[in-house]
Structure 1
């Protein structure tokens, strides 16, 4: 049985951050699962598109201008979310991922809540995100948290774009 101790959301990297590998393992799981869901199964990180591989290999560089939030259970990262630097008064949420053993325990809601608080402190007026159409559970979560479907800003098929005022 998985130990579901209290989960804390922290900014990464942070002073005293004890998360062993930070978001790298979570980003790897996220990207490999996403590729599989798109019907583009890859054997490992080396077969991912360069931009995704770069996030996994060096998240500090890949997200240098952004805020990375981690959900920690003890010193183990069990969830992550990236909040992009504001552009035109908006930030974007990206790479929301919860380790499968921790799903349904409020990790994703906690990460999104922390992201919205950060966005409010940063003075943005809105937060947006895109989510794959087949991720119905994620879309339902975002709707519960006040996001609504909006016109797409992304040319990729099968994405649902959502936004919420801060």
Structure 2
């Protein structure tokens, strides 16, 4: 695993357009792969459900009010994470993705660490997430970082819900 110091985490909104472009470039393969894993054959972004396509085409609107973290290695967007901040409830981690070219370098861990630090700095008590049960590597990472399986808040089958203190 690579030292996290080479991974720069940028908070968005408030960053330059290239971060937004990098975010879209990360979200497209994330959503396409997820749909394939769910058994849906989607050939391109145009075939994604509207809400996922909107995240890619207009992330500023899709994630208005959320904190978006983008991991940069040099000038390359290597990973992303969205942290929601509902008014009355726990923050939720969404869209954690590392470009396959950059995996194994501690990017997901760095993004999660930054998200947890942000939540704590902002008075959030609990951070939760949901993950497809077949993403065993991600589940193992979350467990290493202190997340535990909890009662589901999402009715979709094969979804594992987890949480931890911020």
Q: Kindly tell me: are residues 135 and 95 of structure 1, through their superposed partners in 2, closer, same or farther at Cα, counting changes over 3 Å?
A: same
Tell me if the contact between 1:20 and 1:76 (Cα under 8 Å) persists in the aligned partners.
no
- In structure 1, what is the Cα distance between the partners aligned to 2:136 and 2:41? 20
Matched, 1:51 2:51: yes
- In structure 1, what is the Cα distance between the partners aligned to 2:109 and 2:42? 29
Tell me how far 1:124 sits from its aligned partner.
0.9
- In structure 2, what is the Cα distance between the partners aligned to 1:8 and 1:17? 16
- In structure 2, what is the Cα distance between the partners aligned to 1:115 and 1:17? 21
Higher helix share: 2
Matched, 1:113 2:113: yes
Equivalence for 1:138 = 138
Q: How many residues align?
A: 162
Tell me how far 1:88 sits from its aligned partner.
2.4
TM-score normalized with structure 1 length? 0.93
Equivalence for 1:12 = 12
Tell me how far 1:33 sits from its aligned partner.
0.4
Unaligned runs of 5+ in 2: none
Equivalence for 1:84 = 84
- In structure 2, what is the Cα distance between the partners aligned to 1:32 and 1:158? 18
Equivalent residue of 2:19, what SS? coil
Equivalence for 2:149 = 149
Equivalent residue of 1:10, what SS? strand
Tell me if the contact between 2:67 and 2:82 (Cα under 8 Å) persists in the aligned partners.
yes
TM-score normalized with structure 2 length? 0.93
Q: Kindly tell me: are residues 57 and 15 of structure 1, through their superposed partners in 2, closer, same or farther at Cα, counting changes over 3 Å?
A: closer
Structure 1 stretches of 4+ with a deviation exceeding 2 A read: 13-20, 86-89
- In structure 2, what is the Cα distance between the partners aligned to 1:152 and 1:58? 29
Tell me how far 1:101 sits from its aligned partner.
1.3
Computed over aligned residues only, the root mean square deviation of the Cα atoms, in angstroms, reads 1.5
Q: Cα deviation per residue 1:68-105 (whole Å; 9 max; x = unaligned)?
A: 00000112111000000134241000000000011111
Q: Cα deviation per residue 1:20-59 (whole Å; 9 max; x = unaligned)?
A: 7131010001000000101102010111000000000000
